Every structure is written in structure tokens, then in C-alpha cells.
Structure 1
Amino acid sequence: MESTGHDAAVAALPWVPVDIGDSKLLAKAWFGDTEYRVLLSDLSSVWEEDMSSESIRSRAQDLNKRLKAPVQAFFAHLSSVARPCLSGQLYDQSTAHFSLEHHDKRLTVRLKSELAGVPFYWEFRCALAPVAVVSAQLVRPLLAVTRVLQRQVGELAALLVRKDAEILDYKENGAMLSRARLQTEPFEEETYRKNFIIQTLPQMSILQDSLEFNSELRELYVAVSTVRNTLKRKRLGEHSSASVDSFSFVPEHPAAEQDQASAVPSDMKSPVSDVGQLLEQTQDADSEQTVPLLPAALAAAPTDRSTMRPKKKKAVGLFR
């Protein structure tokens, strides 16, 4: 089951392609002080392992009977050796050797290195992740990324249309293009979309089982995940405060309670990035459309029915 202690830290990490043995995987690896969490995927399954300090101490003693050291020493060495490989970074393969083994519904990553001149062994024993973990760590963030990218493409298309109108205005006022190679055709979004699907997409060699995650996508993934966690904490805070208010009595000093309710924690007062605004707008678009807002003049108008009843106009013409 997904751990609640460091969900936000793990969610903020991007999926990175890693090579373990002869296998290519997507990985997420979070290392704390004396605990870690690892997620691995080959796009057909997702495996995870969440280890606490006591579990690390027990396994280290079981795999390394000749080594006698505190758990901090074991974990510091494990983190320094395993983190680069599981984070998609370059590492010295002469000092750390990784191997992969599939068996039943488990995935084991074996590590062999040296600690103080003595062989050090470790095993990441990953089990199949629940559907909730796969959804939270892979499916939902990627869907959010696609929505942000779709919004970005729409804004760029609108910008191109405005640029074409600007260029046309220049031409109608006598402007001439000095370099013919810079001339372009007017942008038509529907035509561009059809040509991209029919002509460009087959030439991009996009495979369904591709494990490539370039730096721009990883950066966008991290931004979207961070914003999602921020919005989630904000909504949970609003929900908890609303539930408390719904079961509370009328206070003796309403002004003091109003000041207390208006206080916002410091971590929620930080400015939201452009990605956060796009994500929040796309998530709340449907809900905003279903709640019509009354104009200020109508809201401030008196409730007298006679003042709101329109006056009848006199008939003009033959039926006057």
C-alpha cells in the first residue's frame, strides 16, 4: 500500500530511464535519512519497495554477516552507490555491479560493491505496486501533463493566428519582405493537425513501448506533480476547515473567529506558477461553467417585486 509519509517527495520525482543488467526500465528512487522508496516499471508492470530504518538494518545484517556497523553507515553507503544508477545518472560500474531477476510477481535488483574493503551486498526486493500507486505515480501525472501540453498548443495556435493577422496588416499598408526565404503560409490549425497526424507522426518513430523521457518532459512532469500536491493540500485544508465549521457552535466573538479563519499557512501563500494556473483552470473549467454568477447590480438590487417588473410598452401602429 502506498506510504503516506513521503508521497509528496516521491511524486515530485520524475520517471527516468535506467539500464539494469540487460533490461531497460523507468525508475523513481527516493532516499531519506535512513529510509528509501523505489519504483520500477517496464510499462507492463510497476514494482515498488518501501523500506524503513529497522528493515534496512535487518536486511543489511542478513546479507552482510561479516560487516558490523550502525544502520546509518550501511544506508549512507547504499545511498551513495545506488542513487546514481536508479536516478539515471552516470556511475562507476567498477565499484557497483547491478543485476536484475524476475520471479513470479516480484522483481529483485541485486547490488554488489565494497564497504571499507569488505564486499557489500544489497537486494531491492520490489513487489507489484497496487493500482492506486500506479494511478497516483504514473497515470494521473501523465494525464495532467497531456492536458497542460494541449492547453499550451492551443495558446500557441491562437498566437500564430494573431501573428498572421499582424503580418497581413503590414502587407496591406505597403510593407515588403526583404528575404523571400522567410515567407510562410498562413497558419490553419485544422490543416496543420491533419498533416501532422498523416505525415509527421509516422516519421517520428514513436513506439508504444518507448521508455524515453527527455529532460523537458521530466521538468514538466515535476512541475505538474508539484502543483497537484500543492492544490491537493490546499483543498484538504479547506475541506477540513469546512467540516470543523459545520459542526461548531456560534462563537461568542465572531470577529475573532473570522480573523482566525482567514489566516493561511505560509506554505499556501507562495505564488502559483504558470503550470499551476493552467492545471487549476483546466481542472475547474467544468465546475465553473455550471455555477452561474449573478451580476453585481442584480445582487445589490432591492427585493421589491414591483421594482424588478419590466414596464409594458404602449402598442404602436394599427393596434394603438
Structure 2
Amino acid sequence: MWKHIRIEHNDYIIKKISMDGHHKVLLSSFVNMWGEEITSASLYQRCKCFNPLVEGDEETVSQWTLSQIHDKTNAQISIKECENAQVMEINSKLAGVPFTVKFYLKVMTSQEIYDEITLPLLLMVQQLQAQKHLLFDLLKKKDIEITEYKLEGAQLSRRNIETLAFIESHFEKLCTTIKIPDEFPLQPTQLFTQEMQNLYDNVMEKYANCKKLKEAAEQHADAEDSETQSVINDSSPEKKQKKNPKVSINKYIYKKYILGVR
């Protein structure tokens, strides 16, 4: 999950991904994105290099180190820009002892930016549009329901809560009058509110599940194609000939032993 982080008067979003002893640290301003992939073994050795007195097993030390990325109360994070990377230094305390570690975040490729930023934002827009259409359908059904109540003689006790029937085109026209605030955030990450983060996580979970189902369906289809091809091959004339080979009989043997001709 992405988290807000403020480093030296600049706003970023940051997240860590861990799976089977492999870790990825990502940092983004929504304009650029940097990251580093590292194994638990390499991260442990790096921690030992910066902190020779650190004791503990490889996985425990690695996970604690990664947790400091989101620990705003205990950790201080700074960034130094180098030629091809952003060096992110974390200074914290482990059991009261000063602890330092550095991550070397390189500029991510356009494909990685698409996977982590562009694609999720497009999916979020698609989901919001789908939710809007669901809401429109619900409002139209409510209007039909209210009309039916009125035809049956029902009356509102308070006229001030009466509403006009929902007309989609009127609503769309009203939306065009909504202005972008003059105090538009200079840093895009300020728009990435908790509600937006929740939507991001939701759509990415749906996307991952959809991807798994698609891959499973493709594997099933490939297995069926392979089985069908195997049946076709077994039914070919060449296969049948091998299964039922023609017996070639010497003419002399045929005459002598079968026909009894000498």
C-alpha cells in the first residue's frame, strides 16, 4: 500500500512489496518514480555493513528495516540525489541503538511506471464511471417508485424535501460548472487522499484476481488444445498403420504352406 511521506519539504508516496525473500522499495512524486529490488540476504548484509553490532536472523532484521519506511515516529528519512539514483537514507533506533541503512533508488522504466501508477489510475477512473452509472440507475428506479406512490395517493408531509425527477443530461450539464480550485496543490501527491488510496488498493486487488482467472483459463485452454491434438494425432492414418501393420507374406511360403502347392 502506498503511504504519504514528506522528505525535506517535498511530498512523495512510498511503498514496499515483499514476497518470498525478495523486496521492492518504490518512491514516487507522481511525476517520477524510483525503486530498488533487493533480497533479504542482500539487505541483511547491507544492514550489517552500516551497523556492525546488529544481531538477529536475516528475515527478522530485513523486515524490521523495511518497516522503518513507514515509521514516522521512530525513523528519519532523507534523500540525496546522485547521478543515476536517489539515495534514501533511513536513520532510526533499534532497541535504543542508532541504526542507519541506505536504499539506492534508480529511475524506473516507463513500463514499471505504467504498472504502478498509470494503469491503476486508469482502472480507478473506470471504476468511478461504473459506480456513477450504477448510481444513475438507482436514482431512476427511485423516481419511478416515488411516482407510483404519488399515483396511489401518497403525499409528502414536508414540501421542502421534495425533489425533481433525475435527468442524466441535466446532471452532466451541472457537473460542467464545477471549477478546479484556485489553490490546486503544487505537489500531486497531496491529491492522493486516504479515500483515493483505498480505491487504489481495491481496484488493484480486483485486477490481480482477474489476471489470475485469465491465466488459469488460458492454461486450461492450452491443456484442452494439447489433448485434442493428441487425439487427432492418434487418429491419423500413419498412427493406425503402426497400430495395425499389414502383414507381408512371402509368395513361396504362401503357396507351399497355405495353398498346399509344391
Q: State which of 209, 212, 216 in structure 2 corresponds to 1:237.
A: 216
1:210 maps to what in 2?
Answer: 188
Q: Do structure 1's residue 79 and structure 2's residue 66 form an aligned pair?
A: yes
Q: Do structure 1's residue 250 and structure 2's residue 231 form an aligned pair?
A: yes
2:3 maps to what in 1?
Answer: 16
Alignment of 1:284-299 (within 5 A): none
1:161 maps to what in 2?
Answer: 140
Write the distance in 2 (CA, Å) between the matches of 1:103 and 1:137.
23
Show CA shifts across 1:99-153 (max 9, x none). 1222334222211123344421111211111122111122112211211110110
Alignment of 1:216-231 (within 5 A): 216-231=195-210
1:99 maps to what in 2?
Answer: 78
Structure 1 position 203, deviation (Å): 4.9
Q: What TM-score results when the alignment is normalised by the length of structure 2?
A: 0.76
Q: State which of 129, 132, 137 in structure 2 corresponds to 1:150.
A: 129
2:48 maps to what in 1?
Answer: 61
1:273 maps to what in 2?
Answer: none
Bigger fraction of residues in strand: 2
Does the aligned pair in 2 maintain the 1:111–1:121 contact within 8 Å?
Answer: yes
User: Percent identity among equivalent residues?
Assistant: 25
Residues 68, 153 of structure 1: alpha-carbon distance in 2 compared, 3 angstrom cutoff: closer
Write the distance in 2 (CA, Å) between the matches of 1:50 and 1:142.
23
1:171 maps to what in 2?
Answer: 150
Does the aligned pair in 1 maintain the 2:30–2:117 contact within 8 Å?
Answer: no
Q: State which of 5, 10, 15 in structure 2 corresponds to 1:28.
A: 15
Residue 127 of structure 1 aligns to which amino acid in structure 2?
A: K
Residues 208, 146 of structure 1: alpha-carbon distance in 2 compared, 3 angstrom cutoff: farther
SS in 1 for 2:98: strand
Query: Which protein shows a greater Rg?
Result: 2
Q: Do structure 1's residue 132 and structure 2's residue 111 form an aligned pair?
A: yes
SS in 1 for 2:68: helix
Residue 220 of structure 1 aligns to which amino acid in structure 2?
A: L
Structure 1 position 154, deviation (Å): 0.9
SS in 2 for 1:37: strand
Residues 75, 185 of structure 1: alpha-carbon distance in 2 compared, 3 angstrom cutoff: same
SS in 1 for 2:124: helix
Show CA shifts across 1:220-258 (max 9, x none). 22222112112212221222232233234129xxxxxxx
Q: Do structure 1's residue 191 and structure 2's residue 166 form an aligned pair?
A: no
Does the aligned pair in 1 maintain the 2:11–2:187 contact within 8 Å?
Answer: no
Does the aligned pair in 2 maintain the 1:49–1:125 contact within 8 Å?
Answer: yes
Residues 114, 186 of structure 1: alpha-carbon distance in 2 compared, 3 angstrom cutoff: same
Show structure 2 runs of 5+ residues with no match.
233-262
Write the distance in 2 (CA, Å) between the matches of 1:101 and 1:66.
26
**RMSD across aligned positions (CA):** 2.7
Write the distance in 1 (CA, Å) between the matches of 2:57 and 2:133.
56
Show CA shifts across 1:180-237 (max 9, x none). 2211222221111121121x24359665853233333322222221121122122212
Q: State which of 138, 158, 161 in structure 2 corresponds to 1:182.
A: 161
Say how many residue pairs are matched.
Answer: 230
SS in 2 for 1:247: helix
Show CA shifts across 1:42-96 (max 9, x none). 11111111110222133223322454655345324413433x34xxxxx32xx42
Does the aligned pair in 1 maintain the 2:16–2:66 contact within 8 Å?
Answer: no
2:39 maps to what in 1?
Answer: 52
Show structure 1 runs of 5+ residues with no match.
1-12, 86-90, 252-320
SS in 1 for 2:176: helix
Write the distance in 1 (CA, Å) between the matches of 2:47 and 2:20.
16
2:256 maps to what in 1?
Answer: none
